[in-house]
C-alpha cells in the first residue's frame, strides 16, 4: 500500500521524534495561549488506550503558588535521591538540572484511573498495568505535539506522588503518572542533557533489537533518526 503521507510529511514526523527533548533549563517564560495548550492536550487525548478506556486526566497548573509547592516537593525528593549515590556520583547528580517547574509557565499533572469504567475491562484482565501504559502513550503524543508547536516539555518524576495528590486533590484510587513542565523555549538542545552532562549515553539501536528470541542479535540495525538533523 502506498503510504497516506508524502515523503515530506514522513520526514517531518521522524524529524519531530529526533528533535524532541526533555527540557529543564531553556524555558523562555513566554505565556502559552489556551488554544495551543488545547491542541497538545487534544493530541494526548488521541493516544491509543487499552479497550479504548482513555484512563488519563490532565490537570493544568498555571498558578505560581501551586508550582512553588511542587518545586518544594521536588527539592525534598531530590535531596533524598542524592543520598542513593556514593560521594563522587552524588556531586555529579547534584550538578544536574532536573526540572523547570518555576521557569515553565504551565505544569500538567497526568493521572491514570487504573480501573476505568470505559473499555469494559478489555485487555486489562491479563495486563492490568496497560491502563498506565495507555496514559504514557498519551504523554508521548503530547510531548511530540508540543515539539512541533515550539513548546518544551520536561517530565519531573523526582517528586513524591502523594505530595502531588494532596496538593492537587487527586483521589486515592487515581494514580499520579507524571508532572510535566510545559513552555516555550529559547532553543532545543541538540542532544539529551544527560548525554551532554556525561551521565548516560543513548544506546545504539542494535543493542535493543532482538530477532526471534530475547537476546537473538542482529549484526547491526540501522537507524534513520538523526538527532542532529
Ligand atoms: C518516565 C520518565 C521520567 C522522567 N523523569 C525525569 C526527571 O524527573 N527529571 C528529569 O530531568 N528528566 C526526567 N526524564 C527525562 C529523561 O531524563 C530524558 O527523557 C532522557 O534523558 C532522554 O533525553 P531526551 O528526552 O531529551 O531525549 C524522564 C523521562 C521519562 C520518560
Instruction: Confirm whether 224 is domain-assigned.
Output: no
DSSP E strands in 62-214: the ranges are 106-113, 151-156, 174-184
Find the mean pLDDT for residues 4-10. 97
Ligand 1 binding pocket, CB closer than 6 Å? 21-22, 24, 98-99, 155-158, 192, 194
H or E segment and range at residue 60 = strand 56-61
CATH code: domain of residue 122: 3.40.109.10
Domain membership flag for residue 201? no
- Residues 159-201 have pLDDT tens digits of 999 999 999 999 999 999 999 999 999 999 999 999 999 999 9
| DSSP-based three-state secondary structure for 3 | coil
- Spacing, Cα 86 to ligand 1 middle (Å): 22
In a domain, 89, yes or no: yes
- Angstrom distance (rounded) from CA 92 to CA 129: 34
Protein residue closest via CA to atom 11 of ligand 1 = 98
Report the SS3 class of residue 84.
Answer: coil
Structural domain containing residue 107: 13-190
Query: Is position 198 within any domain?
Result: no
Mutation test residue for ligand 1: of 22, 153, 187, 227, the one with most atoms within 8 Å of CB: 22
Domain count for the chain:
1
- Whether 3 maps to a domain, the answer reads no
C-alpha of residue 158 to centroid of ligand 1, in Å: 10
Window from 60-69, 96-105, 220-229 with minimum mean pLDDT: 220-229
- Listed as own residue / partner, the contacts of 114-117 with beta carbons closer than 8 Å and 24 or more positions apart are 114/55, 114/173, 114/174, 114/175, 115/173, 116/53, 116/54, 116/55
Residue with CA closest to ligand 1 atom 20: 192
pLDDT in tens, 217-229: 766 777 778 776 6
CA of 30 to the centre of ligand 1 (A): 23
Per the structure block, which three cell numbers stand in for 158?
Answer: 523526582
**Percentage of the chain exceeding pLDDT 70:** 98
Q: Inform me whether the pLDDT recorded for 5 exceeds 80.
A: yes
Determine the distance separating the centroid of ligand 1 and the alpha carbon of 25, expressed in angstroms.
Answer: 13
Q: Which SS3 state, helix, strand or coil, does residue 177 take?
A: strand
In the prediction, which pLDDT does 161 show? 98
**Ligand 1 atom nearest 157 alpha carbon:** 8
Asked if residue 228 is part of any domain, the answer here is no
- Is 186 part of any domain? yes
Quote the ligand 1 centre to 21 CA distance (angstroms): 9
33 close to 81: Cβ distance less than 8 angstroms: no
The verdict on residue 200 lying in a domain is no
pTM assigned to the model: 0.95
Amino acid at each position: 500500500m502506498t503510504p497516506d503521507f508524502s515523503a515530506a510529511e514522513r520526514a517531518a514526523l521522524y524529524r519531530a521524534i529526533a528533535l524532541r527533548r526533555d527540557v529543564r533549563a531553556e524555558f523562555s517564560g513566554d505565556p502559552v495561549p489556551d488554544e495551543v495548550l488545547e491542541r497538545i492536550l487534544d493530541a494526548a487525548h488521541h493516544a491509543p488506550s487499552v479497550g479504548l478506556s482513555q484512563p488519563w486526566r490532565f490537570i493544568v497548573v498555571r498558578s505560581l503558588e501551586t508550582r512553588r509547592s511542587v518545586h518544594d516537593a521536588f527539592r525534598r525528593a531530590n535531596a533524598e535521591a542524592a543520598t542513593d549515590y556514593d560521594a563522587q556520583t552524588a556531586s555529579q547528580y547534584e550538578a544536574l538540572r532536573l526540572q523547570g517547574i518555576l521557569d515553565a509557565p504551565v505544569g500538567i499533572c497526568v493521572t491514570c484511573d487504573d480501573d476505568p469504567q470505559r473499555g469494559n475491562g478489555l485487555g486489562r484482565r491479563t495486563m492490568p498495568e496497560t491502563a498506565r501504559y495507555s496514559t504514557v502513550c498519551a504523554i508521548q503524543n503530547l510531548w511530540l505535539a508540543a515539539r512541533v508547536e515550539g513548546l518544551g516539555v520536561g517530565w519531573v518524576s523526582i517528586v513524591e506522588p502523594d505530595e502531588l495528590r494532596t496538593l492537587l486533590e487527586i483521589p486515592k484510587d487515581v494514580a499520579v503518572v507524571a508532572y510535566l513542565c510545559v513552555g516555550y523555549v529559547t532553543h532545543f538542545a541538540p542532544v539529551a542533557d544527560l548525554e551532554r552532562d556525561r551521565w548516560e549515553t543513548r544506546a545504539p539501536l542494535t543493542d535493543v533489537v532482538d530477532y526471534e528470541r530475547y537476546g537473538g542479535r542482529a549484526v547491526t540495525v540501522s537507524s534513520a533518526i538523526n538527532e542532529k538533523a
